[in-house]
Amino acid sequence: MLEYAWLIPVFPFLAFLLISLLPKRTLSWEDGAGYAIGGAAGALVLSALVIGDVLAGNTMVGDGPKFTWLVIANLEVTFGIWVDQLTAVMLLVVSVVGTLVVVYSGGYMHEEGEKRRRYYAEIMLFISVMYGLVISDNYLQMFIFWELVGLCSYLLIGFWYEKPSAASAAKRAFIVTRVGDIMFMAGIIILFKYVGSLGFDNLFGEDGIAAVPNDMMILATALIFGGAIGKSAQFPLHEWLPDAMEGPTTVSALIHAATMVKAGVYLTARSYPLLVQAPETLLFVAVIGGVTALIAATVALAASDIKRVLAYSTISQLGYMTLALGAGGYLVVYADTAGGYSAALFHLMNHAFFKALLFLCAGSVIHAVGTNDMRLMGGLGKKMRITSLTMLVGAIAISGVPPLSGFWSKDEVLAAVYNAGEFDSLFFLLWAMGIATAFMTAFYMFRMWFMTFAGKPRSDYHAHESPKLMTVPLMILAVLAVSSGFALFVGDGFGVFAGESIAGLYHGEHHESAVDILAHIFGDPLTYVSLVLAIAGIVLAYRIYCVPGFDRTVFATGTAGRFQRALQNRWYISQFYDDFAVKVVYAFSLVADAFDRVVIDGLVNGFAFLGARSGNLLRKAQSGNVQRYTTIIVVGLCLLLMFMLYIAPGGWW
């Protein structure tokens, strides 16, 4: 089935065309929801067949169907497909989460009226271009779909464009991610200069790698990772993602779990054959991931908007994946194992399921109570049992408590980072930051759950459970959040499956049986460090938000109060960007505007003024009087003769 993988993005794209172009009277159920579900389901079925083929040991890397897009002199630009284990992991994530989000949307968006048609069209285009990005076989093709993903996110974040906050968030996301996109483009231009091709088969081969000087490889890979920093909301380009919560919650679930922000992690993983040639870039990748994980987790501690808690949680978990990729690269270079690489992809898959679950549960809550503010919630557990139980599953999974999925992948991530410390002691510090993040993750996730579902209602609302069209996807995702971690024990284990996708060059660690894997994990004392801290975070959240008598006003005064205000203001990073834009960028634009008006326009207008004045003077000589013209000609000839006879040097004429 691999040669038909190019049809996967076609299904949602056809749904996009039908929803967009069909007359309104011919659209079926809920203004195109039927076409959207059909397009997503068709892509899901074909993705499952392709994934099955990959699991059977088949890949299509460099030998898939291609078509020529452009021919410029000796340069031929082609589009093709690249299907390996990494592709299969991403197809699984996008197809499962995308389909469940579209089904859920049938209930969540039912009150949007005529806007539903635009919503389903945009979300189908979003899913289609993400599929296109995943199966691309060269950087140029990937970059085109990369930009289309950014366009779709802009349209969906600003779906309620009549709200100034939504329009502003959409613009911010679009502009900030462009910074990363420019770096990505610069990186692939450097590679093209030395290799003469952007195809993965050429770039990842020995000849392609050898053609790029070491210093240029470091620069090119760092710039390509810059694209991932923007798309995956890594520090310092992370502030656009919390503001992106202005879009529908279903869009947030899709962006955070399966599409846009996962594209940056995918780009980094896809570029691994190049990254392992530049250990300096790998260290930079790891540092960015560790810093991002820690900073985002601290901000989530004080957030009161349920969607923003999850948004900062996503940034933090993406930091984990990036940290694992950086540490994993060191393990590839110095220990010949891809454990960190496979751990990052394992966490990417598990995170997709439990983060989609958490966002859709948040959407169910918002749908019921009409607010995002957790301070106005409480007591919803009795009225929304399915939502509360499934969200509890997601909270336990992301906290890293066994046997749910988050434990297995997060433990592998932290183990890879610690093991990389053997080759650079900085990784021990990054491991400590990851451990601290694990504690905070458990605390803020259960803070969110207790504030939403436990205790008594803190406002007057008439909540009720969401319809089955919304709760059934929640239950499916809850099952996946529980079970996906056990992929570690299937066959040769997820590590080998994912590790082989590095262009077939490197392999993950092989364990003979499930017993060996369990002995490896639970025989490591470091496993219990993160586990104990996660449980401590849950207990602390319960003590503060559920046990009567705890005075939370202590967080509002003194040093604790200043710290909390800093967290509530997002460490003032967003304010810094706003002030920089106003005081520096806008001020520079005023200077540029003045220079344009006074100097550039002044010169142009000055020449125009001189031309007009001289023209006016010359125009007065054109009276139309023939006798005057004759007189001027005779006088001129006489003056010319006198000049030639008496003034000019003799003999020259």
SS (H, E, C) 169-209: HHHHHHHHHHHHHHHHHHHHHHHHHHHCCCEHHHHCCHHHH
Model confidence at 447, pLDDT cuts 50, 70, 90, reads: very high
Q: How far is CA 177 from CA 147, 263, 621, in A?
A: 10, 12, 63
Q: Are residues 241 and 330 in the same domain?
A: yes
Q: Are residues 375 and 441 in the same domain?
A: yes
Q: Which of 568, 598, 622 is the last residue of a domain?
A: 568
Q: Are residues 216 and 174 in the same domain?
A: yes
Least confident of 35-44, 174-183, 328-337, 477-486: 328-337
pLDDT at 265 over 70: yes
Q: Are residues 287 and 397 in the same domain?
A: yes
Q: Are residues 555 and 610 in the same domain?
A: no
The residues with which 81 forms a beta bridge, in sequence order, are 136
Residue 512: its pLDDT value, please? 56
Looking at per-residue pLDDT, the higher value among 190 and 257 belongs to: 190
Spatial separation of the C-alpha atoms in residues 435 and 437, rounded to whole Å: 5
Most confident region among 125-139, 323-337, 511-525, 568-582 by mean pLDDT: 125-139
Does any domain span residue 452?
Answer: yes
Structure tokens that stand for 100 in this block: 């469940």
Please write the tens of the pLDDT for every residue from 65-93. Answer: 888 888 887 788 889 999 998 999 999 99
Burial class (CB in 10 A: 0-12, 13-18, 19+), 115: middle
Residue 507: its pLDDT value, please? 38
Amino acid at 176: V
Closest CA to 433 of 563, 288, 571: 288
Average pLDDT rounded to a whole number, residues 202-207 = 92
Residue 509: its pLDDT value, please? 47
| For the chain, percent of residues with pLDDT exceeding 70 | 95
Q: Is the dihedral of CA 544, 561, 391, 160 positive or negative?
A: positive
Closest CA to 148 of 126, 167, 180: 126
Does any domain span residue 495?
Answer: yes
Average pLDDT rounded to a whole number, residues 248-270 = 92
**Residue recorded with tokens 């957030």:** 303
Q: Are residues 142 and 132 in the same domain?
A: no
With 0.85 as the threshold, say if the pTM is over it. yes
Residue 644: its pLDDT value, please? 82
Neighbours of 520 (CB within 10 A): 13
Burial class (CB in 10 A: 0-12, 13-18, 19+), 455: middle
Average pLDDT rounded to a whole number, residues 625-629 = 80
Residue 495: its pLDDT value, please? 53
Structure tokens that stand for 232 in this block: 């995956």
Does any domain span residue 652?
Answer: no
Q: How far is CA 220 from CA 136, 217, 223, 280, in A?
A: 19, 5, 5, 12
Spatial separation of the C-alpha atoms in residues 39 and 362, rounded to whole Å: 26
Closest CA to 84 of 49, 58, 47: 58
The residues with which 80 forms a beta bridge, in sequence order, are 66
Q: Is the dihedral of CA 110, 113, 116, 117 positive or negative?
A: positive
| pLDDT, averaged across the chain | 89
Q: Are residues 130 and 238 in the same domain?
A: no
The backbone torsions φ and ψ at residue 274, rounded to the nearest 5 degrees and listed phi first, read -85, -40
Does any domain span residue 486?
Answer: yes
Least confident of 29-33, 179-183, 309-313: 29-33
Q: Are residues 151 and 253 in the same domain?
A: yes
Does any domain span residue 403?
Answer: yes
**Residue recorded with tokens 């975070």:** 537
Q: Are residues 151 and 108 in the same domain?
A: no
Model confidence at 461, pLDDT cuts 50, 70, 90, reads: confident
Does any domain span residue 653?
Answer: no
Please write the tens of the pLDDT for every residue from 382-403. Answer: 899 999 999 999 999 999 999 9
pLDDT at 496 over 60: no
Task: Give the residue numbers spanning the domain of 83.
Answer: 1-137
DSSP 8-state class, residue 585 = I
Structure tokens that stand for 71 in this block: 């021919």
Number of domains in the chain: 3
Q: Are the C-beta atoms of 150 and 207 separated by less than 8 Å?
A: no
Q: How far is CA 1 from CA 4, 6, 50, 59, 228, in A?
A: 6, 10, 6, 10, 30
Closest CA to 103 of 370, 392, 356, 394: 356
| For the chain, percent of residues with pLDDT exceeding 90 | 63
- Tell me the H-state helices in 196-271: 200-203, 206-211, 214-231, 240-243, 249-257, 260-270
Spatial separation of the C-alpha atoms in residues 39 and 171, rounded to whole Å: 29
Average pLDDT rounded to a whole number, residues 199-206 = 92
**Long-range CB contacts (< 8 A, 24+ apart) of 154-158?**
155/122, 156/119, 156/122, 156/123, 156/126, 156/247, 156/248, 156/251, 156/254, 156/255, 157/244, 157/246, 157/247, 157/251, 157/255, 158/246, 158/247
Q: Are residues 309 and 423 in the same domain?
A: yes
Q: Are the C-beta atoms of 86 and 345 separated by less than 8 Å?
A: yes
pLDDT at 503 over 60: no
The residues with which 373 forms a beta bridge, in sequence order, are 305
- Omega prior to 236 cis, within 30 of 0: yes
The residues with which 138 forms a beta bridge, in sequence order, are 199
* 75-80 vs 66-72, strand pairing mode: antiparallel
Q: Which of 538, 568, 598 is the last residue of a domain?
A: 568
Residue 508: its pLDDT value, please? 43
Average pLDDT rounded to a whole number, residues 221-235 = 95
Q: Are the C-beta atoms of 277 and 296 separated by less than 8 Å?
A: no
Q: Are the C-beta atoms of 70 and 53 separated by less than 8 Å?
A: no
Q: Are residues 585 and 549 in the same domain?
A: no
Spatial separation of the C-alpha atoms in residues 613 and 110, rounded to whole Å: 69
Q: How far is CA 266 from CA 100, 304, 321, 325, 394, in A?
A: 21, 31, 10, 10, 23
Q: Which of 101, 117, 137 is the last residue of a domain?
A: 137
Model confidence at 524, pLDDT cuts 50, 70, 90, reads: confident
Average pLDDT rounded to a whole number, residues 296-312 = 94
Average pLDDT rounded to a whole number, residues 161-167 = 92
Mention every residue, 6+ apart, whose C-beta is less than 8 A from residue 358: 310, 313, 391, 394, 395, 398
Q: Are residues 534 and 627 in the same domain?
A: no
pLDDT at 550 over 80: no
